[in-house]
């Protein structure tokens, strides 16, 4: 793989590399992988998400569903609208809160669809840790609200609001929350962390993992020597926090991953960690720190169990294809495009194929949702009654 770097990119990655090596030295020669991932992605002014690099779309490092087509966000509205209408019927502000809004395309497509349906959304709120992405989101949403003549108030928050009533959404957020790597050796699980050898970042085994941190599958399953996988302590804490702060409404997220039985399958012996740079998948997470995105697949069973530790109503998991079909993506595609006009409908058809195909995003990506106090908002509606969530629950 030949990736030519500019001198600025080379210097940027070297500066972060030196910062990471100094951290390793200060910690006695070893740091957990979660600390390395945190620095590589979020170190102020240096990390991948905090240093201003172009990340999304054709010119970035990866493409997300909202970047492929506005159909994705338009279809999501089918699920969100009953919640928003319930808030409106009770005289409450109608709010959507998005974590990690990317370039703002998902927000834009949702606002466009709500405008087409003549629903007056009061506010669209965003929590974004990347300064350059927040700027791009602001510019895009300012243009969208102005061109549509919307009264929707868009604002950016630095922390999660307490007792939130409304809809919370997140697209490809959980996969970027720092995780820990662990390795199976001689019948025990050990932390698989980061050390330094000849100024090169390397994997190094640390102390044994406390059994109370291990899911049941890792305690009872049969694994080969050197089997590597991940633990998601921070992601599980994050979902508990979201569930705690949501007072009334719906949480809906999309990400790639598996339920526990598939995630910790004996054949998945190299884990799921992956780096991305300019649409190249890179196995080595230590490659070009600060320039590469680092992700891990989501282990949905633990995410669901941790959400259920808070007093929520229920949880639901399905694949992206089943969700989008149940939410009416086909009918929405026919609304916004004319099948008799190949020039305009072909891009819509191609986008649907990528969103739905098992060989593309349809199976690997999952839709996960939970509701809280939904009965008080919509007395005759349960989570599985919402469009998109009528199919088989995979939890």
User: What is the per-residue pLDDT for 5?
Assistant: 83
Sheet holding 228-231, edge to edge: 200-208, 188-197, 180-185, 228-231
Label residue 18 by pLDDT band (50, 70, 90): very high
SS3 of residue 100 by DSSP: coil
Label residue 57 by pLDDT band (50, 70, 90): very low
Please name which of 342, 366, 332 lies closest in space to residue 116, comparing C-alpha atoms: 332
Cα angle vertex 61, ends 304, 298, to 5°?
Answer: 10
Structure pTM?
A: 0.94
Neighbours of 214 (CB within 10 A): 14
> 361 exposed, middle or buried (CB, 10 Å; 0-12, 13-18, 19+)?
buried
Distance separating alpha carbons of residues 330 and 297, to the nearest angstrom: 28
Quick check: 332 and 351 in contact, CB under 8 A?
Answer: no
What distance lies between CA 121 and its chain's CA centroid? 24
Mean pLDDT of 15-39: 97
Label residue 341 by pLDDT band (50, 70, 90): confident
Please name which of 130, 153, 129 lies closest in space to residue 141, comparing C-alpha atoms: 153
What distance lies between CA 78 and its chain's CA centroid? 20
Mean pLDDT of 78-101: 97
Note the pLDDT tens digit of each residue in 173-219.
999 999 999 999 999 999 999 999 999 999 999 999 999 999 999 99
User: What is the per-residue pLDDT for 171?
Assistant: 97
Note the pLDDT tens digit of each residue in 249-284.
999 999 999 999 999 999 999 999 999 987 688 999
Phi first, then psi: what are they for 199, rounded to 5°?
Answer: 65, 20
User: What is the per-residue pLDDT for 374?
Assistant: 97
User: What is the per-residue pLDDT for 3?
Assistant: 65
Domains of the chain: residue spans and CATH: 1-395 (3.40.50.12710)
Q: What is the mean pLDDT of the chain?
A: 93
Note the pLDDT tens digit of each residue in 61-85.
567 999 999 999 999 999 999 999 9
Mean pLDDT of 367-377: 97
Question: Which residues is 284 bridged to in the sheet?
Answer: none
SS3 of residue 167 by DSSP: strand
Note the pLDDT tens digit of each residue in 290-303.
999 999 999 999 99
For residue 228, pLDDT over 90 is answered with yes
Q: Which residue has the tokens 């506005």?
A: 70
Question: Between these two residues, 54 and 249, which has the higher pLDDT value?
Answer: 249
Label residue 343 by pLDDT band (50, 70, 90): confident
36-51 burial: b if 16+ Cβ within 10 Å, else e:
bbbbbbbbeebbbbbb
Token digits of residue 392:
């088989």
SS3 of residue 266 by DSSP: coil
Distance separating alpha carbons of residues 221 and 264, to the nearest angstrom: 9
For residue 1, pLDDT over 60 is answered with no
Please name which of 192, 175, 177 lies closest in space to residue 229, comparing C-alpha atoms: 192
Quick check: 221 and 212 in contact, CB under 8 A?
Answer: no
């Amino acid at each position: 793989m030949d990736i030519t770097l500019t001198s600025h990119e080379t210097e940027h990655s070297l500066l972060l590399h030196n910062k990471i090596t100094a951290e390793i030295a200060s910690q006695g020669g070893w740091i957990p992988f979660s600390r390395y991932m945190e620095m590589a992605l979020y170190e102020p002014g240096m990390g991948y998400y905090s240093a201003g690099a172009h990340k999304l779309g054709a010119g970035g490092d990866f493409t997300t569903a909202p970047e492929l087509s506005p159909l994705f966000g338009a279809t999501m509205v089918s699920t969100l609208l009953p919640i928003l209408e319930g808030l409106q019927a009770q005289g409450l502000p109608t709010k959507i809160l998005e974590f990690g809004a990317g370039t703002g395309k998902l927000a834009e497509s949702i606002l466009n669809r709500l405008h087409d349906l003549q629903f007056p959304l009061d506010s669209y709120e965003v929590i974004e840790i990347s300064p350059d992405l927040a700027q791009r989101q602001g510019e895009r949403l300012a243009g969208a609200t102005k061109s549509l003549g919307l009264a929707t108030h868009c604002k950016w928050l630095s922390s999660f609001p307490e007792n939130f009533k409304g809809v919370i959404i997140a697209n490809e957020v959980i996969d970027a929350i720092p995780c820990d790597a662990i390795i199976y050796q001689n019948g025990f699980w050990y932390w698989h962390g980061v050390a330094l050898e000849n100024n090169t970042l390397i994997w190094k085994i640390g102390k044994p993992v406390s059994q109370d941190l291990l899911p049941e599958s890792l305690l009872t399953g049969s694994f080969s020597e050197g089997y590597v996988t991940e633990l998601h302590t921070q992601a599980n804490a994050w979902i508990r926090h979201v569930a705690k702060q949501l007072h009334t409404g719906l949480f809906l997220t999309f990400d790639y991953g598996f339920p526990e039985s598939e995630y910790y399958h004996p054949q998945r012996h190299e884990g799921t960690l992956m780096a991305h740079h300019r649409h190249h998948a890179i196995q080595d997470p230590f490659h070009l720190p600060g320039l590469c995105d680092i992700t891990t697949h989501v282990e949905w069973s633990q995410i669901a169990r941790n959400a259920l530790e808070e007093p929520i109503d229920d949880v639901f998991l399905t694949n992206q294809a089943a969700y989008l079909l149940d939410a009416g993506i086909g009918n929405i595609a026919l609304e916004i495009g004319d099948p008799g006009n190949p020039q305009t409908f072909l891009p819509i058809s191609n986008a649907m194929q990528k969103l739905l195909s098992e060989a593309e995003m349809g199976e690997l990506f999952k839709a996960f949702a939970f509701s809280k106090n939904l009965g008080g908002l919509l007395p005759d509606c349960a989570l599985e009654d919402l469009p998109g969530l009528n199919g088989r629950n995979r939890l």
